Chain A
Amino acid sequence: MTKDKEILDGLADAVLAMDEKRAKSLAEEVIKRGVDIREAVLEGLSKGMEEVGRNYNNGTYFVSEMLLCSDAMNAAFDVFKPHLKGTEFLSKGRDIIIGVVQGDIHDIGKNLVKVMLESVGFTVHDLGTDVPLERFIEDAQRVNARIICLSTLMTTSMCQMERFIQTLEERGIRDRYKILVGGSPVTQSFADAINADGYADDAFLAAKKARELMET
């Protein structure tokens, strides 16, 4: 095994082992040795997160572990970020807006989706929780985002997703954006009913769906 491959595997392992320190130090090693950062993200961090997803789906990992794995991934990603600016990996047109819609403050799911989107090369603009519809539109226009991700845990806030899409339609700007929705009460049939472009059941599928939407 080459040294570079060893580092990439080490990054994946560090993410899976929730080891922030090791992930950061291996990321620094990537920079020092001039390893391709895109490869380090996709073959190291992203691979690790894929394994985390498998562990979540088979009941080995729960949200506690997923959050700590995300922290390890972010520790490495923070080292890479300054070196990724202006590269193809974070090229324009890969900006995504994400937020929890107005009326809800539950953001664990949204935060996990954000991490997964970053791990596959999107630049994610996180608007936080309880976000008014107008702010989603303003920020999407400002960063020229292609995809807007809306999240909620509460049935009481689901109507905000529908209102958001209606507002885009009324303003004649619906075609500019792909809308991805998710959250515990949200279903594929709800997404279809409100004319969303995509729905994902978990953070891993959300990243996959976002990639598909970007290609359409």
Chain B
Amino acid sequence: MNDFSKKDTQTGKERMAALMEGKPLDRVPFNPCSIGFSARIYGIDRGRFYRNPETAFDAGIHLMKTCPWMNTKPSYGWADRGSWEFGGKVVWPDNNRFIAPCSVPFIKDPGEISSLPDPDPETAGMNPLVDSFNTLSRGHGFPASLPGGTPTTLSAGIVGRENFLRWLVRYPEAIHALQEKVTRFILNTAELTIKKHGGENCSVFCGVPMESNQLISPGRFEEFAKPYIKQIFSLYRSAGVKSVVVHLCGDHAANLPHWHEIDLPRRTVFSIGNEMDLEKTGADIGSSHILAGNISSTLLQQGSVEEVVKEVSRCLDAGMKHPGGFILMPACEFPPDTPMENLDAIARTLYEKGYYS
């Protein structure tokens, strides 16, 4: 592994602070977006990781110590939420399977939506687990996490992804009613977290998978997703939240103009999947926001060292041109089964090509 301390002139913390302030950096930071990979490096399965926020936190700290060249911190959470929070079930990833927990949809008829009760944000679903993780994070000087999934993602977890997509066309009023209910829950959860930790001590990782243009049109994003995302970011802005990552999972190129109408803080990080182009997205988001991405997760897991070197070089060449700053990241979560030599290939390429001078 390359010895970054020979070339680095900033610590990881200083580098991120400089990036947030738009000041010069020594090199590109690498955020592995690691959850399952942290569990693997720590030698535990994801079932144990997700059921035990304390263990998940320790696993995150272990990764930081093992790979000090990364800009990483303990992370906790999963995308496929909603069902458990609203009274349904979640499937845990036991028996050494590296998959995140999954929602089991339980609403089968649009008529059932109106009778869904408003969950208690103190006790609903994963909220108590996130609360424990947040307390640990704050105790170690890291920010607390605010609810990051979009209302659409949670709604799809409640009614099922296919039903959600069908009902957008067939029962638009029911979908709006569901989105309103889910948004209310997210806002209630966020208010609790902000009250406990203070908005300035909170961060958001907003995963956006269901709104991808592979699934829905930009018109439906505008009608069914944007108004609710706006409400959530309006609360975050008024609470003084500054650290925001918007992870556009899949192809969201046609939705980008709509993101300009959402009140995001300056220096929001837009992390993109490998279906999107770094340079074009950089031009779209403008220099006040930070670009991140988009090493192919498939290549990380399945590709050769040479292919990973080429892929990381592509990302650095494109991303380092963005005047708003760039973070090297995988296209999605770092694949837990990535061979260690491919991780070394990222480090080697970053060491060789990721410095600004």
Residues of A near any B CB (own CB < 8 A): 18, 59, 62-65, 67-68, 71, 102-108, 111, 154-159, 184-187, 190, 193
Contact = CB atoms under 8 A, between A and B. Distances in A.
B275 to A, nearest CB: 8
Closest 8 CB pairs of A and B: A64-B165, A185-B298, A155-B335, A63-B215, A155-B297, A156-B98, A62-B217, A103-B99
Contact of B337 (A102, A159, A193): A159
B43 to A, nearest CB: 17
Contacts of A186: 298
10 contacts: A62-B214, A65-B169, A67-B162, A67-B165, A67-B166, A105-B91, A155-B332, A185-B298, A186-B298, A193-B302
Interface string B98-112: 110010000000000
Given A62-B220, A64-B168, A111-B162, A156 B298 contact: no
B91 A185 contact: no
Contacts of A184: 214, 250
B166 A64 contact: yes
Given A185-B297, A186-B298, A157 B166 contact: no
Contacts of A68: 166, 169-170
Contacts of B97: 102-103, 156
B162 A155 contact: no
B44 to A, nearest CB: 15
A63 B216 contact: yes
B141 to A, nearest CB: 31
A73 to B, nearest CB: 14
Interface in B130-149: none
Interface in B190-231: 213-217, 220
Interface size class of B (residues with CB under 8 A): 20 to 34
B36 A156 contact: yes
Given A62-B215, A62-B216, A108-B162, A156 B169 contact: no
A111 B165 CA distance: 13
A154 B298 CA distance: 9
A103 B91 CA distance: 11
Contacts of A104: 99
A103 B298 CA distance: 16
Given A103-B99, A156-B99, A64 B91 contact: no
Most A CB atoms within 10 A — which of B91, B162, B220, B335? B162
B301 interface: yes
A64 B99 contact: no
Given A62-B215, A62-B220, A154-B99, A18 B335 contact: no
B161 interface: yes
Given A62-B215, A185-B297, 14 more contacts: A62-B214, A64-B165, A64-B220, A67-B162, A103-B99, A155-B335, A156-B36, A156-B97, A156-B98, A156-B336, A158-B298, A159-B301, A186-B298, A187-B298
Contacts of A111: 162
Nearest to B301: A155
A33 B82 CA distance: 49
Contacts of B297: 155, 185
A62 B214 CA distance: 7
Contact of B169 (A18, A106, A154, A157): A18
Contacts of B161: 106, 108
Given A108-B161, A190-B298, A64 B336 contact: no
Nearest to A186: B298
A101 B12 CA distance: 39
A25 to B, nearest CB: 19
A79 to B, nearest CB: 21
A67 B161 CA distance: 11
